[in-house]
Structure 1
Amino acid sequence: MVLLPLAGLALILWLNHGGRSLPDRFVLSVPLSGSLDERAPSASGLPFSSAEGPLSLQDLLFTLHHASSDPRVDAVLLDIDGVRTTPSKISELRRAIERTRASGKRVIAFLHSPEDSDCMLGAACDSVIVEEGGFMLLDGLRAETLYFATPLRKIGVSFQAAQWKRYKSGIEPFVRTGPSPEAEEEVSVLLDEVYRDYIGYVSRRRHLSPDSLRSIIDNVTLMTSPEAVRLGLADGVASSWRFHRELERRLTGKEPDPESGFFVGADRYRDSMEWPMKADTKDRIALITLSGPIVRTTGEEALGLGSGVDVAAVRRSIEGALKDRRVKAMVLRIDSPGGDALASAEMLEMLDSAAVCKPLVVSMSGVAASGGYMAALSGRSIYAEPLSITGSIGVYALKPEISGLVQKIGLGRSIVTRGRNADANSIYKPLDGEAYRKFVEASGEVYRDFVGKVARARKMSPGRVDSLAGGRVWTGRRALEVGLVDRSGGLFDALGEAQRLGGIDSTRQPEIVCYPREKSWLELLVRGDFSAIGSRVESALAGRVIGRLMPGIGPVPAALYPLLSGDHGGEVLTVMPCDIIIR
């Protein structure tokens, strides 16, 4: 009685929405903000509420690809407002903007109080307009890490750590009061490369000398919109209302009409087309996205980094691609800092088996490091953006102990054991000498196995891999030089290679089938999967609350809860030690 009316209403709304045609001429308005997640879940947000958040990176890439060949699109307007994402995603999006411009479409950037990342994207456009009354803040790049060892020690909490090897600095916020020389070296090298790209690209596109741009960043920093124009960083200043009216008047030669529908939003544009690409052959390419921390099971967290992608989701994606006879090749798109070491190894085993049956090409997005790099080893060819963050071949484990806290609060504990080591891994005491040695050696075995996997996949000696490993982080450009990846390029380069390897006619456009396929709220309700519904609601609510309470704080504080909430000896993780975000 409840489901049938809801399903009927949903069908009517869908038919009404899908039946709306687009104008013969329009400006495609594309909002750009936030972290640019690799792929937005199809059922994101809470049930019976509108989806929140900006478009995903894949949404943006495919939207611009469609617009490039759509004769109805007069121009593309990028409404840029506070992008905070990885250098590689900015770089790949810039190249997508350049391809759109090369197709003959004019691309205009409208910036609201822009910062460095907004300026980096705006520079790729034909013209840049800054909102009237706003400011441009160009203060350069900054890397910041919080260290919790001292405040935790004050409340009686500490950690024992196993680190393989020196550059695997993910343990440092929990066991040190400041960065090690290796951690400082890694961050400095990454920032140098990203900063060179920033200065070089923006100065070239805005016809400034690199020294002039550095001087603006170092000595001016904060400027009004007219000052940004005077300094050559923008082409004009206007309010949003006036800018839209003037653009419509200039492109149509008529007075603006609010009812004309001349500006079409990216969400409506997407809903009107065959997504993600219009196919003209029955052949398919499976696009499998591995996004987020790698975990063993749904709902599990990898050191507080979020729910991530689990082994079962990857297995379902692979099975779906292999069972579909029309799928001729697969692209594995990775945007993951790694995670659980055992889960990463299991994913690699599944992907290796799949790659024997059908060609598999890997495309690295913002980050494909540590466990994410392990998964990439399955590819016949690995593509990375020049600023993709990869490598970090190493592992670490953290074992918490709260004996100091127990003593402070006067907590009593009685324990009865059978077996000498039954209580060795308790969080209520530190590991003793023998137990700690075994703890470190177990992590070392995982590291040696990781090095062996890389050596076999990349056809290197273990010694050579070890010289590149030890937790060292590489950009895609440097990874190509040392042999950790095969080619420089983005998602569409990998799709083209998969088309070639799959024997699909190069003059045709195969259908792109996206995995994993997430069930909608209605599907879960019809199946009676109330556990999945509850988990999704909990995740959505937690994301909203944390996003509002701690918008500028990274994942480390949240990591304390899973580490302290179980009686275990610590997980062996292969995770990136840091995030590199441009804002």
Structure 2
Amino acid sequence: MKNRFIERLWISREVRLAIIVAILGAVGAVACAAGDWKIGIAVLGVAAAMVAAFYFAVVRPARIPHDAVLVIRLAGPIEEDVTRSPLDQIMRRGGLSLDHLRYALESAAIDNDVRAIVVEIAGFGAGLATAHEMHRLMRVAQQGGKRVIALLRGDDAGLREYLVAAGAGEIVANPDTMLTMLGVATGGVFLKNALDKLKIQAQTLQWKEYKGAAETLGRDTMSPAVRESMEAIVADWEKILVEAIASSRKLSHERARELIAAGFVTAKFAVENKLIDREGYIEDLRAEFDPESKRKAFVSLARYRRHAIFRRERGRRARIALVHASGPVISGDAPATGEYISGVATAAQLDRASRDDQVKAIVFRVNSPGGSAVGSDLVWRAVREAQGRGKPVVVSMGDVAGSGGYYVAAGADAIVAEPATITGSIGVVYAKFNLGNLLSELGVHFDFVKSAPISDALSFARAMTDAELAQLNETVGHLYAAFTAKVAEGRKLSPEQAEAVAKGRIWSGLAAKERGLIDELGGLSTAVAIARDRAHIAPDRRHQLVTYRGERRWLDFRGSSAEASTAWTTRAAASALGIPTRWAPAMLELLIRGGVMLLCPFIEL
């Protein structure tokens, strides 16, 4: 009752400013009436300056024309959350944030000032799960009465780009845009033969048979078990694409299945087969909405966000914390560039959110292929401690939340994933490189003084013996048992049920829902709704989603601009491995360092 009473007493920024200005005006008037003109004019000047600053810094940037057209450009990487240093913000540098896109589309869907949404698509770096979420957000806006138009304007548009476009009511493509409708394929890179030629021996252990990450170093092809899991993923992804495209483009499932594997097709072919509505250019759309070419109706994503925040973020509301964890999990020193999850830093963010008395629940957004076992465990423990403080934790999974990415989520109160999310991979791998033969060829030799025969077991100068590997395998087995036990505890499964869904196997969100590894299918908004329910926030009470981030320094150049500074060799390796470029530095460091890893196999559409 007390909180609701305080909420009713909330005073808007405008009213608070008006009160302060009125007080300053009264003081200035009294001073002038008393003959103290300098003080009076100074006080009145301060009042006028406050009004002017509020108008030019807050009100004017948030104004948009009536019947505005929101223009969103999808090009380049789409990051979960763009964390920029103050210097980056001043210089207006930064990538495209999924959080910003989500917020803008959800706001525009119910905004009477927006009559249409135009989404320009020119190739973007995101997975199928992200594309599917964008597709749904656009369909919701369309179903809410907004005119939603997608414009394919890149040199080519693959299935991910087309899935996003299919969420619009109208699809327009540049006449020279080629649609690459190549169906669904996935796989990984295998390095054993290359390592053999370099005289490098990779000794790997895996728990268990489906744990495909170790096969990258130890095999030349997929094992039958990993192929089985990949075939299931491909089948689920095809099902997701067929259902979404058939529904949005009013095609039969059979015809949609044929068209997503039509190959390399022209925009003309796409029109004739109802994949798109017409050929055209952005200038055609501008002329349609703004025949007089005044350009006042078109609103950018950044400008619209200012408008939406000004209009929507008002009043005292229940606070829900949002913590992002994106990239490979690390436990030690951070790589020089790229995106990663620091076990220590992410645990600290969860701890800070859980200790905030105003926070009613925590939404934990995870987009990670896993990595360090210790780093993952630190985050898992922080989730459990947050729950111990009475804060429900709901996980929202992105494109991938596998192995260590699933470990950090396993203890949450509820888990939400997209149908196309890659998750599970409950298993452990170990890798060690023997460079002795290569270095010997180069004339490099080693000599050790040891207290025991095993003392140099971790040296890259020699391979481990069978006895050493057997002992290590037993230890890795204990880590696997601890991992599956945490899954069984968090998901309320019996040990036998947990083992049946573990064994290192990856699952799509669809399959994970059927097996109890997640609770609901959906995006971040679904996770927020569950968090509200778990925190017993009344249906008629509004909430505020507050992002808890690590501290950034003024001269910190890491973050959104990191991808641009990544060496071309790293970008090439990322492309070969099928991982986001911004994840490559941390991922390559994990692989080179070796040791125990909770790492998901690399797959991409």
Q: Normalising TM by the smaller chain, what interval?
A: 0.7 to 0.9
Match of 2:417 in 1: 384
1:338–1:44: structure 2 CA closer, same or farther, 3 Å change rule?
Answer: farther
What does residue range 46-57 of structure 1 map to in structure 2 within 5 Å? 49-53=91-95, 55-57=96-98
Q: Report what 1:182 is aligned to.
A: 225
Partner of 1:41: 83
Q: Write the deviation string for residues 176-228 of structure 1: whole angstroms up to 9, x where unpaired.
A: 1111111111111101111122122212322223333344444x522222221
Distance in 2 separating the partners of 1:52 and 1:146 = 31
Aligned to 2:142: 101
Report deviation, 1:560.
9.2
Sort the Cα spacing of 1:45 and 1:395 in 2 relative to 1 into closer, same or farther, 3 A: farther
> What is the aligned length?
545
Letter in 2 for 1:375: V
User: Residues 483-562 of structure 1: matches in 2 within 5 Å?
Assistant: 483-519=516-552, 521-522=553-554, 525=555, 533=556, 539=562, 542-543=565-566, 545=568, 552-554=575-577, 562=589
Tell me if structure 1 keeps the 8 A contact 2:82–2:560: no
Residue of structure 2 aligned with 1:60, choices 101, 114, 120: 101
* 2:121 paired with 1:80: yes
> Structure 1 residues 275 and 361, CA, compared in 2 at 3 Å: closer, same or farther?
farther
| Offset, 1:247 | 3.2
Instruction: State the secondary structure of the residue aligned to 2:575.
Output: coil
Aligned partners of 1:299 and 1:382: how far apart in 2?
28
Are 1:448 and 2:481 counterparts? yes
One of 512, 515, 530 as aligned partner of 1:479:
512
Q: Alpha-carbon deviation of 1:76? A: 0.7
Q: Alpha carbons of 1:48 and 1:407: their partners in 2 closer, same or farther (altered >3 Å)?
A: farther
Counterpart code for 2:305: R
State the one-letter code of the partner of 1:430: A
String of CA shifts for 1:477-534, please: whole Å, max 9, x gaps.
Answer: 2112111112222211111121222232221221111022442x52xx5xxxxxxx37
Aligned to 1:284: 319
Query: Could you give the per-residue CA deviations for residues 227-264 of structure 1, whole angstroms, max 9, x where no partner exists?
Result: 21111111111122223212333xxxxx222xx32111
**Aligned-partner residue type, residue 562 of structure 1:** E
Q: Which runs of 5+ in 2 are unaligned?
A: 1-52
Residue number in structure 2 paired with 1:264? 299
Q: 1:233 to 1:563 in 2, by over 3 A?
A: closer
CA contact (8 A) 1:369 1:389 kept: yes
Q: State the partner residue of 2:33.
A: none
1:91 and 2:128 equivalent?
A: no
How far 1:16 sits from its partner (Å)? Answer: 5.3
- Equivalent position to 1:329, from 361, 364, 367: 361
Q: 1:563 to 1:391 in 2, by over 3 A?
A: closer
Write the mapping of 1:114-513 to structure 2, written as runs, cut at 5 A.
Answer: 114-218=157-261, 220-249=262-291, 255-257=292-294, 260-274=295-309, 278-297=313-332, 299-300=334-335, 307-357=339-389, 358-513=391-546
Could you tell me the percent identity over the aligned residues? 28
Counterpart check, 1:579 vs 2:603: yes
**Deviations 1:379-412, CA, capped at 9 Å, x for gaps:** 1122222222211100101011111101211112
Does the aligned pair in 2 maintain the 1:281–1:508 contact within 8 Å? no
Q: Which runs of 5+ in 1 are unaligned?
A: 1-11, 250-254, 526-532
Equivalent-residue separation in structure 1 for 2:532 and 2:586 (angstroms): 41
Structure 2: distance between partners of 1:270 and 1:280: 18
Q: Matches of 1:233 and 1:365 in 2, distance apart?
A: 27
Deviation at 1:286, TM superposition (A): 0.3
TM (normalized to structure 2)? 0.83
Which range is displaced more, 77-86 or 345-354? 77-86
User: 1:44 & 1:221 partners in 2: Cα distance?
Assistant: 46
Instruction: Say if 2:430 and 2:595, in contact at 8 Å, map to a contact too.
Output: yes
Please state whether the residue corresponding to 1:445 is helix, strand or coil.
Answer: helix
Give the whole-Å Cα distance in 1 for the aligned partners of 2:108 and 2:466.
63
What is the alpha-carbon distance in structure 1 between the residues aligned to residue 311 and residue 503 of structure 2? 39
Give the conservation status (yes or no) of the 8 Å contact 1:90–1:117.
yes
Give a deviation string over 1:47-72, Cα, whole Å, max 9, x none: 8754243x222221111111112211
- Output one character per residue of 1:306-351: Cα deviation in whole Å (capped at 9) or x when no partner: 5411122212212321232111111111111111111111211111
Equivalent-residue separation in structure 2 for 1:416 and 1:15 (angstroms): 73
Query: Contact 1:156–1:404 (CA<8 Å) still a contact in 2?
Result: yes
Q: CA RMSD in A?
A: 2.9
Report how far residue 143 of structure 1 moved. 1.6
Q: Which amino acid aligns with 1:493?
A: T
Q: Deviations over 1:1-51 (max 9, x none)?
A: xxxxxxxxxxx9x96587423223310001123443222223399687542
Partner of 1:8: none
CA contact (8 A) 1:370 1:392 kept: yes
TM-score, length basis structure 1: 0.86
Structure 2 distance, partners of 1:430, 1:548, is 31
Q: Which secondary structure does the structure 2 equivalent of 1:24 belong to?
A: coil
CA distance in 2, matches of 1:327, 1:470: 37
Bigger Rg over Cα: 2
Displacement of 1:472 in angstroms is 1.0
The answer on whether the counterparts of 2:187 and 2:604 sit within 8 Å (CA) in structure 1 is no
